Each structure stands twice: as structure tokens, then as C-alpha cells.
Structure 1
């Protein structure tokens, strides 16, 4: 049966990508993960799940419903943003991610980056803990990027360095990371997108150069998630394209239009495209029928998976009904954690 699914969706060279990372000094395990992603691209999809910050009830809920676990687990450096840490937050996602990687799972990280300074901190929706939103800060990225001698620019470096230290812990454990910073920039609801494409692209390149060449973080696979071609920093700065899609509740379509938009962002190279965030999960049969080969999906946390029923946490069918969750996690087109190969010994490209 599996061969039939592979034949149905694989469509010549359209969905072939070269397993070459933009960082020439990438670690062997990062190369292995990229080789694996390229090998399955257009043939299988990886099941993925974002966890709630510091906790993982989503993983337990999925296992309770399906008997399987996601292959990809999404984490967030939100509470590690220095402007949050100085207000008392304690990030735990690094430890959780290290354990997930040691247990054979694939790690992806985003960063709801609290603005480095100038948090408005006013009711009802502009509190400091919402400081990654444009409406909760007056931090001006354009001014910061135009003046490397400014305090604002120095604070950007400070924050990048702080997160680099945490990413270094994963590198020390030889765990590659699908790294997805500055996500959804073109929406402008986050401060890193509020001033348009140019300063955001500058920040992306600054982060890449600082993390790659200064901190020598060679285990990162760079997932760009800007959601609009004008924000694309260039093929030499992107390994994988991510697209975040939140369709209507119980909409199990393949999101073909959004996939086809995403593959157009790359200027020359054939880049893998992933459904880096989603609300309802797509129907795997629909993915095959439409020939839409998202590399992985990563359902958002909280209400998209669970709800409280008195004093218990139970599965929520508000966005994805239980039958569809089970269909996805037990479908021959879908790779769960249980089906992953040993990615530490996966073949290396010559």
C-alpha cells in the first residue's frame, strides 16, 4: 500500500530538493536530517505538534487518542527573551527539546521574541508578556537596523546572543534544529514585521551571520516563514520554506493554494516547503489526491488539541475531530515518531 501512495503523490522533479544546507560547516547530524527530509519529500509527511510553552499536554493527548506520537515537536524560546527573563519568566523548552531529541524525535523551534525594550505594558492587551506583538511595544526595528551604534541595535545583538547560548546546548548534544525565527513577518502583527520587508530582511541576515559565524551554530536548518515573496531574504539564507495556515475549524483540505504560493517564494533553488503551523490538520487522502507534499505539519497547541472539562484535560474536537486525528496518525502516508529511522546514523550525502 505504501508504494501506491508514493507513486500517487511523487510528481517528477517538481518535488525534488537537493539536501545541501546553506551553512557549509553544517554538522553531520544536520546534514543527515536534511537528507532524510529530502528523501521523503513528496512521498511522505511528518506528523508534528507544537507544545504549549513549558508544558507538553498535547503530546500525551495525541498518544491517548491515537497510540502514536508526532515525529516533529515544536518548541518556543518565548520565555527566554531577555525582556521577559528580567521580569521573572523561566524558559524550560530547551530542556524539553533536548530530551525529545535524545529520544529520537525531530526538534523545531520558533521564537516569540519579546521586544528588547519599550514595552507598553498597559491593559487590556498591551502587557509586557505580549511584547512580541506590534501593538504592545514601540520598539522601532527600522531605526535599530539603520544605526548599529544605537542601544536598540545592541539589544538586538544581546537577545540573539542569549538565544544562541540555548541553541548551543542543543548543538552540544548533537541535536539538529529546524530553526524558524521571525515567523509570519509579513502579517505585521509582530514587531519584527511592523516596518516592512527591508529591516526584517536585514535582521534575518544579521541573525544568520551572528549565529553561524560568530557563535558557530552549525546544527541549524534555517526555516524561513515570512509568508510573502517580498520578505524573502534570498536562497543563500534559507534551507526550507514554512507556511502557516489556519483554515476554518474542521477544514481538512490540502491547502493547495497556499502550498503553491509558498513554492514561488524561492528565486532559483527548489526548496522544501512545510506546513510550519496549522489549525485543523489536513486529510492525508486529500494531500495525496491533490499532490500537495507538505514536508511536515505542526498543529498549534492549546485549544487546537485539548480543552478543560471541569478538572480534567480532554481532547478537543473544535478544530480537528477525533476520527481525523486518528486517520492522520495511523495513515500509511504519515510518519510518526515511532516510524522515524535512527537519524543519528542516517546516510550522509557524498
Structure 2
């Protein structure tokens, strides 16, 4: 139920978003995998399907829309949908290119606004179809690699709040707002990029298995729920902290991770504490 001690950042969040927040708040080791073919591969390897599948808005601004496919998957599998956004710079270039976006923050006719509004419309379509979304925009905040992080914390927070405000204006109230950075190994702290309790529901780290990552993320989150929004290998309940959820990155990079990711998936899914898709509640009733 929605009364789990954490109110959503969006005061108008619908019941599905509220229940998803509370489900993650009250569970641990909810499993996830980026990309549908890779989630299918996990099932082939282990006999169990990840509870979360992460999709990407990357090509949406170039005309490749997969929203209906996502809705169909959510309806047929009763799984949790997550989205990240490798956002091509609205002024040209890829997601890591230098991008002078600050002048556009107050320009509603800019490509920046157009991109945001396009993605927000697709989020709302999912909401209208009864699908809540773990939305991770502007990810890896303190890594200084993505263009949205290259202008510093203040510009980052302004952009985050703009995306939130445009979502509010559009009536997209099915969003669970996932703030993401690195808990360790960066030049600036995760906390210094946090957009504020009124703009985020989950505080997550990309997991590099530093012993301090769990405590650092908890310290930033305060009363919010945490998670591992992107990691190269699944968590092991026998050895890893009790994160609410984790999402393994795409299998095209499994070999480059230096780990036996397939073997680690087998280990994770052999543990009954790892939550797979078949253990999820009926989200259609939320």
C-alpha cells in the first residue's frame, strides 16, 4: 500500500507510482536488467526473469519511439518499467559532447524544451496506459562525463527541476523520480548534485562495489528510498548490502566488466532473496 512512510515528490502522483515507491521501499534485491533481449537472456541463463527492465529514451528525439512496445511488455509480463535517457545534446552532438544548454533553460521555444516535452508526452502515454515508470534522467550526475554534468551542480539542478516542472504541466503523474550519481570515486560528492526532496523519490548510485557506497547513498537519501540504478553485475544477497533494487547494464558490456556476469546472474537468481518478475504483486490492481 501507499502508506509506507514516504510521500512521493509529486504531490499528484497516481496510485501506481505511489505503490511502486512503497514496494521498493519495503523490499530488497529486486532484480533488474537493461534492454529486453538481455532480460530474456537472463531468463535463459537462470530460469528466472528480472523484475525490472530498463529502457532508454536515447533515440526518441531522433524519431525512434518504442513506447507501445514498452506498454505491451509491461502488460504482458506484469513487470516494472525503468527508463534512462542518454540525451543527445539539443544543440548538436551526443550525450557526452560539450553542450551549452544554460541559455536554453529559460527559452520555451528551444530544442531543449522540445526534447523534454517529447519525452514527457511518452511518459504520460505510459501513465495513461496504467504503467508507472522509474525515470532516471540526467544520470551519473557527479561523473562529469555527460553534457548535463559539465556545467556544474547549479545548472544541473536547474535542468532537473525544469524536466520535473514540464512533467507537472503535462499531467504526467506516473513517474517515480530517480536521482542518480556515483557514491564513490568521483571529484564531487553525490550529495552536492541532489536536486532536493521535492524533486526526487529515489537516490541511487551506479555501483562500483566500494564498501562505503551503501552508507553514502543512504546519507544522501535521508527518508528517501535508495537503489543501484546501474551496475555491471547483479547483487549477491550473501555478500552485498541490502539495496532495495539493482539494474544490470546491457550485456554488450558484460565481457568488458572483467567479471563473469552470466555466472553472477546464476548465483543471484539461485538465491530466493533475489526478487524476480514472478514474485511481483499484481500491479494492475494498484
- TM-score, with length taken from structure 2: 0.89
Paired residue for 1:285? 238
Q: Which residue of 2 aligns with 1:329?
A: 269
Question: Does the alignment pair 1:340 with 2:273?
Answer: no
> How far is the alpha carbon of 1:270 from its aligned partner?
1.3
Q: TM-score, normalised by structure 1?
A: 0.74
Deviations 1:91-143, CA, capped at 9 Å, x for gaps: 32x23321222120000101001011233xxxxxxxxxxx1113xxx421233
Separation (CA, whole Å) in 2 of partners of 1:159 and 1:275: 26
Matched positions, count: 275
Match of 1:163 in 2: 119
CA shift, 1:73, in A, is 0.5
> SS where residue 57 of structure 1 aligns?
helix
Of residues 49, 61, 64, the one that matches 2:44 is 64
- Aligned-partner Cα distance in 2 for 1:150–1:105: 35
1:225 and 2:180 aligned:
yes
**Secondary structure of the residue that 2:33 maps to in structure 1?**
strand
* Structure 2 CA distance for aligned equivalents of residues 201 and 223 of structure 1: 13
Match of 1:132 in 2: 95
Change (3 A) 1:328 1:150: closer
Name the residue aligned to 1:240. 202
**Structure 1: unaligned runs, 5 residues or longer:** 1-16, 120-130, 248-252, 308-315
Instruction: Quote the offset at 1:303 in angstroms.
Output: 2.8
Distance 1:345 1:150, change over 3 A: closer
Quickly say closer, same or farther: Cα 1:243–1:298, change in 2 above 3 A.
same
Equivalent residues of 1:304, 1:320 under 8 A apart? no
Structure 2: distance between partners of 1:117 and 1:158: 12
* RMSD after superposition: 2.0
**What is the DSSP-based 3-state SS (H/G/I as helix, E as strand, rest coil) of the residue aligned with 2:215?**
helix
Work out whether 1:183 is the aligned partner of 2:106.
no
SS in 1 for 2:26: helix
* Alignment map for 1:1-350 (pairs within 5 Å): 18-40=5-27, 44-51=28-35, 56-81=36-61, 84-85=62-63, 90-92=64-66, 94-102=67-75, 103-119=77-93, 131-134=94-97, 138-145=98-105, 148-149=106-107, 154-212=110-168, 214-227=169-182, 228-245=190-207, 247=208, 255-266=210-221, 269-287=222-240, 292-305=241-254, 319-346=259-286
Whether contact under 8 Å (1:46, 1:71) holds in the other structure is yes
Q: Compared with structure 1, are the counterparts of its residues 196 and 321 closer, same or farther at alpha carbon in structure 2 (3 Å cutoff)?
A: closer
Q: Secondary structure in 2 aligned to 1:273?
A: strand
State how far apart, in whole Å, the 1-side matches of 2:223 and 2:108 are. 38
Aligned to 1:14: none
Q: Which has the larger radius of gyration?
A: 1
Q: How far apart are 1:183 and its partner, in Å?
A: 0.3
Residues 18-49 of structure 1, C-alpha deviations (whole Å, 9 max, x = no match): 23111111111112212222222xxx310100
> In the superposition, relative to structure 1, how do residues 208 and 285 fare at CA in structure 2: closer, same or farther (>3 Å)?
same
Offset of residue 217 of structure 1: 0.5
Gaps of 5+ in 2: 183-189
CA contact (8 A) 1:224 1:242 kept: yes
**C-alpha spacing 1:320/1:19, structure 2 compared with 1 (3 Å):** farther
